[in-house]
Amino acid sequence: MGMILASSSPRRQELIEKITDKFTVVPSDVDETTIKETDPVRFAVEVAVLKAKDVGERYPDDVVIGADTIVALGNSIIGKPTDEDDARKILGVLSGTRHRVITGIAVYRKRDSKLLTAHEISYVKFKKLSSKEIEQEIKRNEYMDKAGAYAIQSVGDRFVEEIRGDYDNVVGLPIKKLKRLLMIFDIPPCEIDIVDMALPKNWAVGRSGGMVVFVPDAVYGDRVRVSITERKKHFAYGKVLKVVRPSPYRTEPLCRHFGTCGGCIMQNLLYETQIDLKGRYLLNTLQKIAGPKVLEGVDVSSVCPSPDIFYYRNKMEFAFGEDDGTVVLGLRERSSPVGGYRKGTVALSECVIFSDIVRDIFPIFREFAQKTGLGVYDPYTNEGFFRHLVIREGKNTGEVMVLLITKSGEVPDMTGLMDDMPESVKSLWWVENNRTSDVVFFERKHNLYGSSFITEEMCGMRFRIYPQSFFQPNTRAAALLYSKIGEELKDAGVDKLLGLYCGSGVMETSLSSVVKEVVGVDIELSNISTANENCKTNNIKNCHFYQCSVEDLFKKHRDVVNNPDAVIIDPPRAGLSKKALKNIISLGSRRIMYVSCNVSTFVRDIKELKEAGYNIKKLLPFDFFPHTAHLETLGVFEKE
């Protein structure tokens, strides 16, 4: 048994010699032009697999290495030039751009049909090239067998402004990644029982040979046959080859896109089991970080299930993408340690955790974006116009708000967008976002049609929701949480309540009937304005809202925040900063009620509160996010 490199590239041969000189070269006969795949990463991996299998058919006992390197500008695949004119054209297109160099790798043995694949992505920023510089490179006549019509070792600083990632990958073979693949290739497959799920990633957990193995795509309770794809010092990753014995907790996913879309990760698991796993994760994390005695004397409730397990979300942020030149709308693909993450957009025709409204709205914006020809935003190159489509829906009113998020620039005519929109759409916005991160940011916003807000009903009240308003994403589950907090406040005889990180004041307004006075504080002035509007709409007289950060609480509003009977904090996922936590403790309130959407930061802050004399008395988890790993948790603290 030997090793074969299925490539005639002298660059790959030189690179592979860094790890072994015991290989032979057998070029494959694969015609890359016949491959229909249009996604750059999948294309590179598919070609690598075809090359490895082509040679492997002739040498079934040998380990065959296939590789393919391409250049991708946006979602366009740029391979090797066909002639001098094509090379000249390619270099002109790449001039001044940041593009991706992608290499797909396949390690294959025909005898036992064993195949491991991987890919590497590097980023190359070209300087703006003059026609003279391009012609000089053409005269070198080194372009014909090079993806992108250039060899990085040849053009060097003359063309390249910046390289991010593996340099060897740009040359033609990511040798470090190949070395890891070869190290684990001969590890025999193993059968393992899935005994837990590693939340919040939702990777199945088993053991083999005393080592923890994380197995994406397996389900709690499965017995699976696994191929080890990567081995670390204390754990490994495995790929499911076969489900030997399906879990009794498995169920058929409702959504046709489940498995590729990153919107939810547990639709194939019974909801009762999801809740059990989330509750276990909460308690295990508490005891792991805060100590085994943290729950002594604590009244721990079971997880309160969501009233709706499908169509429960009132807001979703969808992403524009492209598939073979066609604009698509959907969610970013699910990340995996086995297959890598490409930030690709999975085209959706439905979203069962959100609303049926996407069936009517998506076609309108797909067609609009396609007709403009302005292109979709590429998170790798930061180029393209259309970025996100955000939809908000009042679950109890049926009112819908749509926000089109784009980069700034030439603005297409948007006047016809409402012509075919459902009647439920009461508000349409255009938002400009020029940040490089792949998140929705409200740099500038424009109300194109209808009202500037939609309304939602909850807890017997009516609330306004603007584009940036914070509103718990599961309306009916939030009502259960607020009702429970109200019971706690009433039982404790609270008169003055201070709400920190109050957002648009929905929780504080909802609790106004059980206390004499409510003060809310939030850093966003727009949230404070909306909170005051919500009070006026519901004729609430005992709520007062102030704008400032919790870090500046005493500097700006010492008089109004002093001496609360209870403090409610509902911070962002990052939890509390040290200064914010110090200020909260300095308030001297006997009771703190901490609402958290991040178990890890919640547990971290518990330790600080405990050191300040606040003991957790009750722990009440609420499932706001069925089919995902997330959990909303209420901790009730009292100072002795």
Indicate which residue of 322, 432, 488, 632 is catalytic: 632
Query: Backbone phi, then psi, for 221, in 5-degree steps?
Result: 100, -10
CB 455 within 8 A of CB 463: yes
Specify burial of residue 108 (Cβ count, 10 A radius: 0-12, 13-18, 19+): buried
Q: Which two tokens stand for residue 597?
A: 């959407």
Beta bridge partners of 126: 160
221 within 8 A of 250, measured Cβ to Cβ: yes
Residue listed under structure tokens 């684990």: 184
607: three-class secondary structure by DSSP: helix
Instruction: Please name the helix (run of DSSP H) or strand (run of DSSP E) that holds residue 389, with its range, or none.
Output: strand 386-393
For residue 22 the two structure tokens come to: 């015991």
Length of the chain: 640
Q: Are 182 and 19 in contact (CB under 8 A)?
A: yes
Cβ(369)–Cβ(386) under 8 Å?
A: yes
Cβ atoms of residues 458 and 396 within 8 Å: yes
Instruction: Say whether 632 is catalytic.
Output: yes
CB atoms within 10 A of CB 443: 12
Closest to 387 measured CA to CA, from 343, 427, 440, 335: 440
Phi, psi torsion values for 534, nearest 5 degrees: -65, -35
Which residues, listed in sequence order, are joined to residue 450 by a DSSP beta bridge?
Answer: 427
Identity of the amino acid at 150:
Y
From the candidates 432, 456, 597, 640, which is the catalytic residue? Answer: 597
d(CA 549, CA 70): 48
- Those residues whose C-beta lies under 8 Å from the C-beta of residue 438, and which sit 6 or more positions away, are 319, 332, 343, 379
What residue ranges in 45-189 does DSSP mark as E strands? 63-73, 76-78, 98-109, 114-126, 160-164
CA angle at residue 612 from 610 to 613, to 5 degrees? 65
The single residue listed with the structure tokens 């998170």 is: 379
Known active-site residue 597: yes
Cα–Cα distance between 304 and 445 in angstroms, integer?
Answer: 37
Beta-carbon contacts of 4 under 8 Å, excluding residues fewer than 6 positions away, are 23, 24, 25, 26, 55, 59, 62, 63, 64, 65
Paired with 24 in beta bridges are: 4
Radius of gyration of the chain measured on its C-alpha atoms: 28
Stated as kind and residue range, the H or E segment containing 183 is helix 175-185
- Using an 8 Å Cβ cutoff, are 164 and 122 in contact? yes
Q: How many helices (H) and strands (E) does the chain have?
A: 15, 30
* Residue 89 and residue 29 in contact, taking contact as beta carbons nearer than 8 Å: no
Q: What are the catalytic residues?
A: 597, 632
